[in-house]
């Protein structure tokens, strides 16, 4: 049976991900609060729905890609939301970065309506979304994951089933901890090289050949050298993700001092009016602190 995919949330990530579903030959229906956001997909043959409820009534798997936990809740349970139109057996897939605790609650509420849920946040940024090479981390029931996996494969290259509801969001939180901390480490290394009068480009080249090699050093290190922070992943969204990490840590009395420091750098970056830049622009904050 061919599954009909629905997609709600057609921003910098959602639109290309939905386009990859369509390009893979999967029947596609879409919803966006701003109809213009869906126009390119409608032009390629997708069906537009004016509400999330109408979208839910006309698809088998409904992907949601919105900014934050309250936005997911509004799409699911708010006026004109998914539960108003969903048929039993619908699978809802949250592909944004959302609170793990809230995700588990959402899954329980949807199950009462005979709706399945997967949490499937992604890593790879806008480029990965466009190229269909995202890393997708999935939580939920194994059988539901297997049902949706062929659709994930149209959007991502590395698809990992992590565990029960919320496990995908936990994996994404771990990803953001590592990414944030590594951005700070790369920024400090390049600033140290600069202060010592050594060519940062040559330092980066040397480090890429050794144990310090990383995707962050490769991509974001070059951004820092070029002072080019056109967003692949906006600082204000990374700030939101780190807030989720620290809220979950606080709830369980877990000390994450490195993650807390990253959040403070992001707070400073967003507070200085640079929240629309890539989160690698934390380099700017560290540079200001040093100079």
Structural tokens at position 150:
């062929």
User: Any idea what DSSP says for residue 234?
Assistant: B
Q: Tell me if residue 22 is catalytic.
A: no
DSSP codes, 149-204: HHHHTTTEEEEEEEESTTHHHHHHHHHHHHHHHHHHHHHHHHHHHHHTT--HHHHH
The one catalytic residue in 114, 147, 172, 230 is 172
* Distance from C-alpha of 170 to C-alpha of 161, rounded to nearest angstrom: 12
Contacts of residue 78, Cβ cutoff 8 Å, sequence gap at least 6 = none
Residues 6+ apart with CB under 8 A from 176: 97, 238, 241, 242, 245
Catalytic residue numbers read 172
């Amino acid at each position: 049976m061919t599954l009909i995919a629905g997609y709600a949330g057609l921003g910098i990530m959602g639109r290309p991900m939905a386009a990859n579903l369509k390009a893979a030959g999967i029947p596609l229906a879409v919803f966006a609060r701003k109809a213009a956001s869906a126009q390119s997909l409608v032009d390629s043959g997708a069906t537009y729905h004016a509400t999330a409820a109408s979208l839910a009534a006309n698809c088998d798997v409904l992907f949601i890609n919105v900014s934050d936990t309250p936005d997911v809740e509004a799409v699911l349970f708010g006026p004109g939301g998914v539960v108003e139109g969903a048929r039993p057996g619908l699978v809802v897939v949250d592909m944004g970065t959302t609170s793990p605790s809230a995700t588990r609650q959402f899954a329980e509420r949807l199950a009462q309506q005979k709706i399945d849920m997967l949490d499937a946040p992604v890593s790879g940024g806008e480029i990965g979304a466009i190229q269909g090479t995202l890393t997708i981390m999935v939580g939920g029931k194994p059988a539901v994951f297997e049902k949706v996996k062929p659709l994930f494969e149209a959007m991502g290259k590395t698809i990992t089933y992590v565990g029960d509801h919320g496990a995908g969001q936990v994996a994404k939180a771990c990803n953001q901890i590592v990414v944030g901390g590594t951005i700070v480490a790369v920024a400090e290394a390049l600033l140290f090289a600069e202060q010592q009068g050594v060519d940062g480009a040559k330092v980066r080249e040397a480090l890429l050949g050794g144990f310090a090699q990383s995707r962050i050093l490769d991509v974001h290190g070059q951004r820092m050298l070029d002072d080019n922070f056109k967003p692949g992943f906006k600082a204000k969204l990374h700030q939101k993700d780190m807030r989720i990490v620290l809220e979950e840590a606080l709830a369980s009395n877990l000390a994450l001092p490195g993650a807390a420091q990253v959040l403070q750098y992001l707070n400073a970056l967003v507070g200085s009016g640079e929240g629309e830049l890539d989160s690698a622009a934390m380099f700017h904050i560290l540079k200001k602190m040093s100079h």
